[in-house]
Structure 1
């Protein structure tokens, strides 16, 4: 293998959060060795970071089983195309970011081609389908953990893993945000980044907002648009007579911090809100089939990372059958009417942030990969 080939690293991200983390990792890899060529699948953040995007992440932005099946032929062709690129360009390593339903197949192909595989932002197999650790043990060279409890979980099952800290702390300017005082009458909404999430949650959030406004006319509502999401998509169910402010993705952290509390789709945004220190009602609805499978195999008490890290429900989780206008409105009404309860939640969120650790996850991950591959001097 010549020196030029050794410098190529493939990063594979499949959604907005993975794109952000992939971008930071790419920047740190190149910072350690400017001759490294980073390529792969991702979005605008990775492209801006200098990654040669061979396939846009929108090609695999899917959800559960019922959403994947109609697109299976296209996905199979995509796997084949990526494998051809790897055979031709022989990357020194493949770095996978979350998206296990897609990335596990890539891990298998990379293993077969003799390409070392590193998993950064590992799949949450500790939550469900723990048997997947056997697959990871066979195919992945090292897992770079971002949650405090993950390293021990993997090590106990024979998987090589290191804890690098959570990369969100590299993205969120927490010290600057801490200077922002929340507006008691501002309620923020984070409806997610996927079409199915928005379609299922925005009608509910819209009705909750209408009911709150009827009783509390002083309230104002702000929605943070996720990258790549059309404004019309998130406002189609919003009441015409209800004022709404839309903030762009780059301003979402300020919006989250300045809100009294948030209504949010379960996902990365709820960990962001927890690290920022804003109380959040976590909501989610998936297809009946996917939901029943998740309920059957879920091995943890909570879905939000904040609650898992603290091992108690600090942020209310209203999922599936509990994801209703009535229940979300009841929780929101309680926080509006009794703001002292949000103060207690903010104190708990400070404790959670301390447990997560310090910034620098992407830098530590890049150094581990390069030292393991012996790319750096």
Structure 2
């Protein structure tokens, strides 16, 4: 490894881009001359990563959705190989997104470049047999959820548990001091096009039902980087206004909400760490849902419920994602009810389970040690 190493980072979706931003920040503190390049989204680009490819070019989810995008995905992989071969980075860091990144890992290993897999794939949910691929192709596997250590140990793997990086960006004194607006309801429809078109009409009709029961409610929606505002307004089917807010202050906004309706994903862990009760929803294509029913092995969809091993956030999936069901759930949290108090008490135990901060710094040390060991 030179004094000015090149670190390739690959983020395949918005949440990975945010994790990548924190990791780059921690790496730069420890290795001042490093060059960062790879597949980057807005957050990583803001942190100085050279965007040889854009994360926004890979924004699909599900079995059938990926199949429809296969020609474009194969083109991205060819570009990655060409640019990785030309750049010859000292290490490749892939972040989550296993369906795409397993192929990137194979490219890096074929070029003799060490690989760190950051945010280990959720093989405990489905496709458990892919653990053998990780054992053979990845130099270091970095986990951010506590129960993943035992899962990989059952597959003969020693992994690095660093805790969850969101704690450092969310659980700050300034954010946690944000005053609550007792009539504010947050709307988090996801960042992918099909999430917005599938969920936002449902959320907007639930908003109508809530407003009829609680006059004077305010609905707010933080706009993630790259989200199409026109797509949002076209799919907000209520006459009630929804305020679109730049995502730069999304955590303060989410903390200020009395309750939230959210797409399943990283956002639900964010709302949990902000201690804001959340109704979780998701819809899939019919084929994706049917295959998921056969293959997915976990009892819950949302991360807070999996970590706490309890249905703390109610989940509304596929046909269950109905406006009336979501409205009924949120309505129980607008007054100071015993149910609201129970949820807040359960959410209070999350930070200790997730490492109490410092995850990105620990991950950065692993990346740098991997370069030194293999150089």
Instruction: Answer yes or no: same fold by TM over 0.5.
Output: yes
Which stretch has the larger CA shift, 26-35 or 244-253?
26-35
In 2, the alpha carbon distance for the partners of 1:41 and 1:17 equals: 13
How far residue 178 of structure 1 moved from its aligned partner, in angstroms, is: 2.3
2:353 pairs with 1:355? yes
**What is the DSSP-based 3-state SS (H/G/I as helix, E as strand, rest coil) of the residue aligned with 2:231?**
helix
Q: Tell me which of 133, 156, 159 is aligned to 1:158.
A: 156
Question: In the alignment, which residue of structure 2 is the partner of 1:167?
Answer: 165
Question: In the alignment, which residue of structure 2 is the partner of 1:99?
Answer: 97
In 2, the alpha carbon distance for the partners of 1:30 and 1:128 equals: 35
2:195 pairs with 1:188? no
Q: How many residues align?
A: 375
Check whether the contact 2:162–2:355 (CA below 8 A) recurs between aligned residues. Answer: no
How far residue 184 of structure 1 moved from its aligned partner, in angstroms, is: 2.1
Question: In the alignment, which residue of structure 2 is the partner of 1:44?
Answer: 42
Check whether the contact 1:15–1:42 (CA below 8 A) recurs between aligned residues. Answer: no
Check whether the contact 1:191–1:234 (CA below 8 A) recurs between aligned residues. Answer: no
How far residue 225 of structure 1 moved from its aligned partner, in angstroms, is: 1.3
How far residue 313 of structure 1 moved from its aligned partner, in angstroms, is: 0.7
Q: Tell me which of 226, 230, 233 is aligned to 2:231.
A: 233
Check whether the contact 2:37–2:52 (CA below 8 A) recurs between aligned residues. Answer: yes
2:256 pairs with 1:258? yes
Q: How does 1:57-96 map to 2 (within 5 A)?
A: 57-96=55-94
Q: Tell me which of 106, 110, 113 is aligned to 1:112.
A: 110
Check whether the contact 1:7–1:375 (CA below 8 A) recurs between aligned residues. Answer: no
In 2, the alpha carbon distance for the partners of 1:188 and 1:136 equals: 38
Structure 2, unmatched stretches of 5+, are none
Structure 1, unmatched stretches of 5+, are none
2:372 pairs with 1:374? yes
Question: In the alignment, which residue of structure 2 is the partner of 1:313?
Answer: 311
Check whether the contact 1:310–1:352 (CA below 8 A) recurs between aligned residues. Answer: yes
CA RMSD of aligned residues (A): 1.9
**What is the DSSP-based 3-state SS (H/G/I as helix, E as strand, rest coil) of the residue aligned with 1:131?**
helix
Extract structure 1 runs of 4+ deviating beyond 4 A.
Answer: none
- When normalised by structure 2's length, the TM-score is 0.95
How far residue 247 of structure 1 moved from its aligned partner, in angstroms, is: 1.4
How far residue 127 of structure 1 moved from its aligned partner, in angstroms, is: 1.0
Q: Tell me which of 21, 24, 46 is aligned to 2:22.
A: 24
1:247-274 per-position Cα deviation (integer Å, ceiling 9, x unaligned):
1101211111111110000001000000
In 2, the alpha carbon distance for the partners of 1:128 and 1:262 equals: 28
In 2, the alpha carbon distance for the partners of 1:239 and 1:106 equals: 40
